[in-house]
Amino acid sequence: MEYRKVKELDAHLINKIAAGEVIERPASIAKELIENALDAGSSAIEILVEAGGVARLSVADDGSGIARDDILIAVKRHTTSKISSEDDLFQIRTLGFRGEALASIVEVAKTTITTWTEQDSEGTQVIIEGGNVSSVKAAARARGTTVDVRDLFFNTPARRKFLKSDKTEFFHILRVVKRFVLSHSNVHFRLFHNGKSVLNSPPSLELRQTVASLYGAELARSLLEVSSEREGLRVSGLVSPPSSSRSDRSDQFIFVNRRFVKDSAINYAIGKSYENLLKANQHPIVFLFIEIDPSIVDVNVHPKKEEVRFADPVSVQAEVKRAITNALASPQAVPRFETKISSSLQTGPQLQPPAHSVASPTKLGPSSWQSRPSMPAPPPGAVAKIRQLDLRQEIIDAQKSYAQLQAPGAPSENVRIVGQVHGTYIIVETQQGFEIIDQHVAHERILYEKFLEQMSAGRIARQRLLIPITIELPPDQAQLLAQHVQMLDEKLGIGLEYFGGSSFVLRDWPQVLSDSLTKDEFKSTIGHILQALEQEDSISLEELAKHVAASFACESAVVKNSPLRPEEMISLVRQLKQVKNPNTCPHGRPIVISYSVEDLEKKFGRR
């Protein structure tokens, strides 16, 4: 084995290695510089971004500034004005304190810092490239600091190649800025990308007003007030009622002493508060502020400062759960009546595909699935009964149709629709025994495969909405979606129009996927699309289409507890037998459960 001598690393190499823990991408720089600006008492912060922050990212504030004598010390590692002893680590009330941010930034970029304090006769400008100070001179500036970072990772190309596209990097910057807008609503934030204003958030004293500026007034009005307090701990904020939810946790914001954190214990408490109130895989919208004695929370867990450790996590969990549970039990939480916007799709003109394209999908019955009334839940203690089928001749005719329309090459078998249980499960008699089909997931699979088939052929039949649907998204999601509007229209049949800012209007929709559509269903689908687009550097159009189709199909499929006519059940079973995968829905749930005659005979002691 070759003997290797232990040696001390060069200071710049040490700094570059350390910088990797703090500066992961342009959004990391935005976060660190905004934290410094807020700690300096700024009332206005302006962020300029070019090419997703890789070419340039500048943060200017009107805070206290950096004294001329301190500027060259401030760019060294482990130098800070915020703590001076070990005891201070347990009384941290500032966002920054480790003394690593500026040192890490100047090590991996070309940085210009311009600052002035009221104690100095003139401002100071320092230019640093890759950790080396190249210029120090006087400069004119109002009170405050501007840190202008250019050519990120110019001296570490291996790091630079791991960055994503400009639009993805800017999306992450915008998400970081949104967190600060929420946590420090008393500060005026302005964000520009490539010379265009993307976000302008004037100061506000009310969280609900800030949320309205980011998410729209409709959501802000629906949110429930959270407030709870005990000695050394206060929980406040806004949470969504069960009727408003998301498919992921991207709209859950937890702040501890106004610091954005990620904490699984608090997420668990939030989830328990909504237990049995939300559909599976749905998550509430949360803007939660926890004010706690700094001596009983450790924020020095990781260089990113997004993780915290509570001295008594169980008590914090309990207080969060109590506060949210009380909000959900308040009169505010009573859901408001909302009607389906079904007529907008059913009466609007249909946008037919070209004559040579695939035909429009076959309806599952003379009337649309969701125009039929839902079956009321059976009274307590009622005995479940199989739906009786009185129109026997209708059944015979439909059975003949089913036998004729089976998929080519499918085995010929005698099947008979026995009926429907609880308005949810279709019972089908086969030669081998019988099958129980979940009508919702069966319909979901049918719609999913029809949409993918039309997309592959490049000829998606569309339905024009008589009454367009308008939605508002927070700025980060709006910017991401706006960049893909044309692709969604041309490739996936989603006729979405961007009105600038945060507003979108849906004008037409893939016809195969919905005969009726609510605003909430549309927003849920957009949520799934955004989840996929966040990974745009790795996701293919086919994968995105699968995300969209699965979401559409789930929202559009006939729901449980819906009575079906005999011919509708037969049509559903017929179409199910023709799909490529009749066994599971797009989310992996089983569609059919099969029982053989032999199984039955064993249960009844005949074998």
- Of 534 and 503, more confident: 503
- The mean pLDDT of 386-401, rounded to a whole number, is 44
- Of 394 and 73, more confident: 73
Question: How far is it, in rounded angstroms, from Cα 480 to Cα 174?
Answer: 10
CATH: 3.60.70.12, 3.30.2310.20, 3.30.360.10, 3.30.230.10. Which one for 208-333?
Answer: 3.30.230.10
CATH: 3.30.565.10, 3.40.50.2300, 3.90.1180.10, 1.20.140.10. Which one for 11-203?
Answer: 3.30.565.10
Question: How far is it, in rounded angstroms, from Cα 547 to Cα 526?
Answer: 10
- Closest listed residue to residue 565, CA positions, set 417, 376, 361, 441: 417
Task: Say if residue 1's pLDDT is above 90.
Answer: no
**Using 50, 70 and 90 to split pLDDT, how confident is the model at 406?**
very low
**Using 50, 70 and 90 to split pLDDT, how confident is the model at 343?**
very low
Can you give the pLDDT at residue 387?
A: 35
Can you give the pLDDT at residue 16?
A: 61
Can you give the pLDDT at residue 457?
A: 81
Tens of pLDDT, residues 546-562: 777 777 677 666 766 77
* pTM given for the model: 0.71
CA-angle at 438, arms to 437 and 443, nearest 5°: 105
Place of tokens 């969504």: 240
* pLDDT, the chain, mean: 80
- Closest listed residue to residue 320, CA positions, set 208, 239, 222: 239
Whether the CB-CB separation of 440 and 428 falls below 8 Å is answered with no
Determine which of 76-90, 215-229, 318-332, 470-484 has the lowest per-residue pLDDT on average. 76-90
Tens of pLDDT, residues 118-140: 999 999 999 999 989 999 999 99
- Closest listed residue to residue 19, CA positions, set 63, 64, 71, 75: 75
Task: Say if residue 329's pLDDT is above 60.
Answer: yes
- Of 94 and 441, more confident: 441
Q: Parse the chain into domains and list their residue ranges.
A: 11-203, 208-333
Question: How far is it, in rounded angstroms, from Cα 526 to Cα 548?
Answer: 8
- The mean pLDDT of 563-578, rounded to a whole number, is 86
Can you give the pLDDT at residue 14?
A: 64
Place of tokens 């319909």: 443
Place of tokens 């629709």: 417
Q: What is the 3-state secondary structure (H, E, C) of 181-197?
A: HHHCCCCEEEEEECCEE
Q: Where are the alpha helices (DSSP H) in 369-494?
A: 392-404, 439-457, 475-482, 485-492
CA-angle at 486, arms to 247 and 343, nearest 5°: 65
Can you give the pLDDT at residue 336?
A: 52
| Phi, psi for 435 (deg, rounded to 5) | -125, 145
Task: Say if residue 339's pLDDT is above 90.
Answer: no
Task: Say if residue 86's pLDDT is above 70.
Answer: no
- The mean pLDDT of 7-20, rounded to a whole number, is 63
Can you give the pLDDT at residue 81?
A: 65
**Using 50, 70 and 90 to split pLDDT, how confident is the model at 97?**
low
Tens of pLDDT, residues 347-356: 444 554 444 3
Q: How distant is the alpha carbon of residue 207 from its chain centre?
A: 21
* N-term to C-term CA, the chain: 72
Can you give the pLDDT at residue 315?
A: 93
Integer-rounded Cα radius of gyration of the chain: 30
Tens of pLDDT, residues 48-72: 999 999 999 999 999 999 999 899 9
- The mean pLDDT of 92-111, rounded to a whole number, is 82
- Closest listed residue to residue 419, CA positions, set 377, 451, 391, 382: 391
- The mean pLDDT of 471-483, rounded to a whole number, is 89
- The mean pLDDT of 376-384, rounded to a whole number, is 40
Q: Strands 110-116 and 56-61: what pairing?
A: unpaired
Task: Say if residue 87's pLDDT is above 80.
Answer: no
Whether the CB-CB separation of 96 and 82 falls below 8 Å is answered with yes
Can you give the pLDDT at residue 394?
A: 45
Task: Say if residue 161's pLDDT is above 90.
Answer: no
Q: Where are the alpha helices (DSSP H) in 365-474?
A: 392-404, 439-457
- Of 362 and 180, more confident: 180
